[in-house]
Structure 1
Amino acid sequence: MQKLGLPYRIIELCTGDLGFASAKTYDLEVWLPSQDKYREISSCSNCTDFQAIRANIRYWKGGKPAHLHTLNGSGIAVGRALIAVVENYQDEEGIAIPAPLQDFMQCKKIDYK
């Protein structure tokens, strides 16, 4: 989000909003001007050793098996990210392409002509 120059925030979820396996969860939210609010586009959770115990995933620590800690992270919701780029970079003439995407798009702006 930083490299795309999109307004975003990181929210730590309260315990009442955590998933069953999560000890801590952070949501990544991006600003959508058309909705006048931030919308979630990704999430990352620390599940401590909960999932590893259930799946019996272990490693050796000091000659004894121990359960490792796991993270759950979703990728970026591509559709919402694309909407965020369009909404945050559009003007009357077209859509400016953020610098990190210009090589892929082979242009700096999409004109409405």
Structure 2
Amino acid sequence: KVEMVQVTRAEDSAAALEQMVGHAEAILQRLDLPYRVVLLSTGDMGFGAARTYDLEVWLPAQGTYREISSCSNCEAFQARRMMARVRNAQGKPEFVHTLNGSGLAVGRALVAVLENHQQADGSIAVPAALRPYLGGIELLRP
């Protein structure tokens, strides 16, 4: 899978998290996959995270949504551990905020494309975003 990482000033980290979620959402949208965004409760988040969103894709064969991406804002937690700072406009050092996320879990994305785009005859309608990588093929036949 592809990892996303951002290092920001404290005042920019909330917007950066939304941007990261937007990047993962854009891929799911281009693949025409049904998905949802879930804000995790603190009990479900990683130890260092202050806010985490999971993106879940619909898998028809399982009849449920499954996590395909997760984006977290760790605020200054990681920065404090590694002493990562930046100077503010007054020259005073401040801890940066760190964010990380998984682009998409590739294996699960492939399963989601196959399941969500399978036709009644067993063929797979190739999402428009993938066609250039498959020589323009629009339909995969069994």
TM over 0.5, shorter chain:
yes
Alpha-carbon separation, structure 1, partners of 2:111 and 2:52: 24
Mapping of residues 66-105 of structure 1, within 5 Å: 66-91=94-119, 92-105=121-134
Segments ≥4 residues shifted beyond 4 Å: none
Alpha-carbon separation, structure 2, partners of 1:111 and 1:2: 24
SS at match of 1:100: coil
Q: How many residues align?
A: 112
Alpha-carbon separation, structure 2, partners of 1:39 and 1:28: 8
Are 1:109 and 2:139 matched, yes or no?
Answer: yes
Higher alpha-carbon Rg: 1
Task: Say what the alpha-carbon RMSD is for the aligned residues.
Answer: 0.8
SS at match of 1:85: helix
% identity of equivalent residues: 57
Match of 1:53 in 2: 80
SS at match of 1:76: coil
- Going from structure 1 to structure 2, the CA distance change for 1:93 and 1:35 (only over 3 Å counts) comes to closer
Which residues of structure 1 form unaligned runs of 5+?
none
Mapping of residues 25-40 of structure 1, within 5 Å: 25-40=52-67
Match of 2:25 in 1: none
Alpha-carbon separation, structure 1, partners of 2:61 and 2:122: 18
Give 2:138's aligned amino acid. Answer: K
Match of 2:47 in 1: 20
Q: Which has the higher contact order (CA 8 A, sep 6+)?
A: 2
Report how far residue 93 of structure 1 moved.
4.2
Alpha-carbon separation, structure 2, partners of 1:54 and 1:72: 16
SS at match of 2:107: helix
Report how far residue 18 of structure 1 moved.
1.1
